[in-house]
Every structure is written in structure tokens, then in C-alpha cells.
């Protein structure tokens, strides 16, 4: 089977249960780093509002939906995923048509402070139960006490899912679902290792778009299978010429751009790596399933300390043999922006040229005026292109 076919299976499996008539299977609306394995093991279908907003932006619908939410009073400083999503909710716009009605809302604070507030307002709109999973902030590591605290939070997810679905959690089913998430993540990690080869020929857009299954369908056979097939295909890909300069993209993609990042018009060189695709490598290796879940969701990329984010950039510079770094300072996402100054400082110490430009992952109106492209040109000039 090709990865295109495997991706079609993923799409069918994600949207299929969400298109069924209300009441067929309970639907949870979840944030991107929710411990979704627990919900899947209990038979709930999961829908991801952030991913939906990214899809809308990638299909050129962001502006229209943002205009709807602006007219209803959502200001420009609110995260553009929320503004786009509310545009879709309020106007019934969007690639899915009418959205599946939630039976349960699961928010987490392991990525930002926006999500809990966003999900609270969803609860006001839909009047269904909400559980916000609380993870201790900005982690360098996890103490036994923290792990126990997160385990209890996850038991809270079980309790509320049971109230909604009437189903109990079977520990064997949970172990199987977590095993599927682990297979997907391991295969994705191997793909990113391939990408570090000097002659690897993958486009940035291909890599970023390939994230869809691990975002929306972790814990399923279709998702694990997709990455295993994709890895096999990429490992067979013929190698091309080695390129220089090798550029690292730091931060979110810009979903509305055809290449998902600003593709530099260079005589030589290209973007060979990005930080965003690394966020979706999860370490599920643990003898104890509950501890594995606590580690993965307690230490999401966005919940790590700024110092840890700096260390990660340093590791990527070395692993991908990076010559320069392009920093996308995302207007929407303060949690990512908080580490940028430290990253810039560290790159300067390492002698790696970098430029930072202001943009947004989903709202094209922050990207106007050609300033971002000008920053890229400046970087290339520094590199002698
Ligand atoms: S603020 Fe950042 S982490 Fe939070 S929903 Fe928006 S983009 Fe995602």
C-alpha cells in the first residue's frame, strides 16, 4: 500500500465517526495534546478544533472565518486558531460543513493558557461536561510527585468519559491503544532521522502535512500504519545533491502559504529542518502505561522550559548540520515566543546566523507587507547567496 492510500484510510477513519448522526458514538472535542489514548480506549470519537482551524487556513478559508469572528467581537490578539474556529462555528463555514456536536470537552493546559479559556467558552455554547487536565507548568523533568499528580488528573479523564459514554476502561485496551501511539511516534521519529541525511530530498511541506494523522488519530492502527508505510517509502527515495546553506525553520508553519513556510528564493541551499515536526515525537516507552502517559503529556514541547527549548535547537543545529536559522515569531502563540530571545542569544554564541520575523500560523493578515520575505532575503545575504 502507498502512503497516499494509507492517508486516505486515516482521513476516512477520522471523519467517518464524526459524520455519523448525533448520538451514534459519543464525541469528545479535545485539544491537541490531550491524553487521547484514554478516550479512544473507552470508545469515544475525538475531534480537534485546532487542527480544523489549521485545515481551514490551509484551504484558504482563514480570512473569511476570521472576518466572521471579528464581527462577533473576537479581537486580533486572540489566537487565530480560536478566531478561525469560531468563524466556522458561528457561520457554519468550513470544509466539514456542520461540525459534529460535542458530548464532552477535554482541554489541557500543557500547551498554553488559551486552550482552557477557549474550551470554557465552548462549554457555555454547548452546555456539555468539560474537564480541563492540569499539568504542572514549564517542566525540566518530572518528579515522582508530579507523575503521581498527572496520573490522578488522567483518572479524572476516565471518570468523566465514563459518565458520558457509560463505558468502563479496560486496561488491556488502553495498553493496546498506547502501543499504537508508540508505533506511530517511533516511525515518525525514524522519518525525521532520515531527513537529517545530507542528501535527503523531502520537501518541508511534505513533512509538515504528514503530521495530520499523528495529531488527530494517535492510538489507532491506521495512524501507526501510515507512518510505517511512509517511512518505508522515504527510506527508498533516491538521494539528491547535498545542499548548502542548510536552514532550520524555528516555530510554527504558516498554514496559508503554499509551501507551509517561506521558501527562500536561493541560488543554493534550502530549509532542511524545522522544529514544529519534532513536537510530535512522543516517548511512550515505559513499563507502566499510566506513567508513560504522564511523561508524554506532562512534557509536551510547549510545556517544556525555555532552557529546554534552547537545548533542543542546539541539538538540531548539530544533528542537521545547520548553517542558519529562520525564526517565525508567531503573533498567536506566546508560549513559543517566550523562548525566542534565549534561542537568538544561544545561536549568536554558536556563531549561527539567524533572523526573526513576525507572522502568524493561520491568520494571513499578520503576514502582509513583504517584511517576512525581506527577513529571509537578509538572512540569505548574510550567507552570501
Ligand atoms: S495559543 Fe498557541 S498553543 Fe495555544 S491554541 Fe493557539 S497556537 Fe495552539
pLDDT per position as a tens digit, 328-365: 999 999 888 889 999 999 999 999 999 998 899 999 88
Question: Is 90 exceeded by the pLDDT of residue 157?
Answer: yes
DSSP-assigned letters across all residues of 304-353? B-HHHHHHHHHHHHHHTT-SEEEEEEETT-HHHHTTHHHHHHHHHHHT--
Share of the chain above pLDDT 70, in %: 96
Q: How far is the CA of 50 from the centre of ligand 1 (A)?
A: 8
User: What does the angle CA 269 – CA 275 – CA 280 come to, to the nearest 5 degrees?
Assistant: 135
pLDDT tens digit string along 68-90?
A: 999 999 988 899 999 999 999 88
Mutation to probe ligand 1, out of 48, 110, 115, 254 (largest number of atoms < 8 A from CB): 115
Question: Is 70 exceeded by the pLDDT of residue 172?
Answer: yes
pLDDT tens digit string along 274-299?
A: 999 999 999 998 889 999 999 999 99
Band the pLDDT of 203: cuts 50, 70, 90. Answer: confident
Which 3 state secondary structure label does DSSP give 283?
coil
Q: How far is the CA of 53 from the centre of ligand 1 (A)?
A: 11
Residue with cell string 471518570:
159
pTM for the whole structure:
0.94
Share of the chain above pLDDT 90, in %: 74
Cα(157)–Cα(134) distance, integer angstroms: 11
The H-or-E segment that residue 227 falls in is helix 221-236
Contact 150, 245 (CB under 8 A): no
Question: Is 70 exceeded by the pLDDT of residue 18?
Answer: yes
Q: Provide residues with CB under 6 Å of ligand 1.
A: 50, 79, 81, 111-112, 114-115, 302, 332-333, 335
Mean pLDDT of 22-34: 89
Bridge partners (DSSP) listed for residue 46: 28
Rounded to the nearest 10°, the torsion over CA 235, 261, 3, 187 is 50
At 71 the pLDDT is 94
Distance of CA 188 to the CA centre of its chain: 13
Residue ranges of alpha helices (H) inside 80-170 are 80-91, 114-126, 144-165
Question: Is 80 exceeded by the pLDDT of residue 9?
Answer: yes
Contact 83, 69 (CB under 8 A): yes
Residue with cell string 522519518:
191
Residue with cell string 483518572:
155
Band the pLDDT of 377: cuts 50, 70, 90. Answer: confident
Cα(83)–Cα(201) distance, integer angstroms: 36
Question: Is 70 exceeded by the pLDDT of residue 228?
Answer: yes
CA distances from 323 to 195, 234, 274, 353 (A): 16, 24, 13, 7
Residue ID of nearest Cα to ligand 1 atom 1: 333
Amino acid at each position: 500500500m502507498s502512503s497516499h492510500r494509507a492517508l486516505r484510510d486515516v482521513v476516512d477513519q477520522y471523519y467517518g465517526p464524526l459524520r455519523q448522526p448525533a448520538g451514534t458514538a459519543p464525541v469528545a472535542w479535545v485539544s491537541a495534546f490531550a491524553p487521547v489514548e484514554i478516550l479512544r480506549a473507552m470508545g469515544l470519537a475525538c475531534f480537534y478544533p485546532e487542527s480544523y482551524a489549521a485545515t481551514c487556513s490551509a484551504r484558504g478559508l482563514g480570512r473569511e472565518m476570521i472576518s466572521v469572528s471579528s464581527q462577533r467581537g473576537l479581537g486580533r490578539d486572540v489566537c487565530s486558531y480560536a478566531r478561525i474556529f469560531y468563524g466556522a462555528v458561528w457561520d457554519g463555514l468550513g470544509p466539514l460543513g456542520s461540525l459534529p456536536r460535542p458530548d464532552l470537552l477535554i482541554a489541557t493546559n500543557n500547551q498554553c493558557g488559551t486552550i482552557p479559556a477557549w474550551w470554557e467558552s465552548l462549554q457555555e455554547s454547548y452546555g456539555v461536561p468539560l474537564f480541563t487536565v492540569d499539568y504542572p507548568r514549564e517542566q525540566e523533568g518530572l518528579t515522582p510527585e508530579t507523575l503521581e499528580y498527572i496520573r490522578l488528573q488522567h483518572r479524572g479523564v476516565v471518570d468523566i468519559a465514563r459518565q458520558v459514554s457509560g463505558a468502563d476502561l479496560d486496561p488491556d485496551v488502553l495498553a493496546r491503544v498506547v502501543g499504537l501511539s508508540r508505533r506511530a511516534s517511533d516511525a515518525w521519529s525514524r522519518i525525521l532521522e532520515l531527513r537529517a541525511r545530507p542528501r535527503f530530498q523531502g520537501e518541508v511541506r511534505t513533512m509538515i502535512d504528514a503530521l495530520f494523522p499523528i495529531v488527530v488519530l494517535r492510538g489507532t492502527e491506521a495512524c501507526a500504519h501510515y507512518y510505517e508505510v511512509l517511512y518505508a517509502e522515504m527510506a527508498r527515495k533516491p538521494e539528491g545533491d547535498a545542499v548548502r546553506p542548510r536552514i532550520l525553520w524555528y516555530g510554527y508553519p504558516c498554514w496559508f502559504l503554499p509551501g507551509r513556510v517561506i521558501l527562500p528564493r536561493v541560488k543554493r541551499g534550502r530549509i532542511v529542518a524545522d522544529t514544529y515536526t519534532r513536537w510530535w515525537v512522543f516517548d511512550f516507552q515505559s513499563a507502566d502505561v499510566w506513567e508513560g502517559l504522564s511523561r508524554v503529556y506532562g512534557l509536551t514541547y510547549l510545556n517544556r522550559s525555555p532552557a529546554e527549548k534552547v537545548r533542543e535547537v542546539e541539538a538540531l543545529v548539530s544533528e542537521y548540520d545547520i548553517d542558519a536559522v529562520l525564526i517565525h515569531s508567531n503573533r498567536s502563540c506566546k508560549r513559543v515566543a517566550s523562548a525566542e530571545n534565549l534561542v537568538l542569544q544561544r545561536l549568536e554564541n554558536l556563531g549561527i546566523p539567524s533572523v526573526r520575523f513576525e507572522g502568524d500560523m493561520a491568520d494571513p493578515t499578520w503576514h502582509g507587507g513583504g517584511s517576512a520575505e525581506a527577513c529571509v532575503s537578509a538572512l540569505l545575504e548574510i550567507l552570501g547567496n
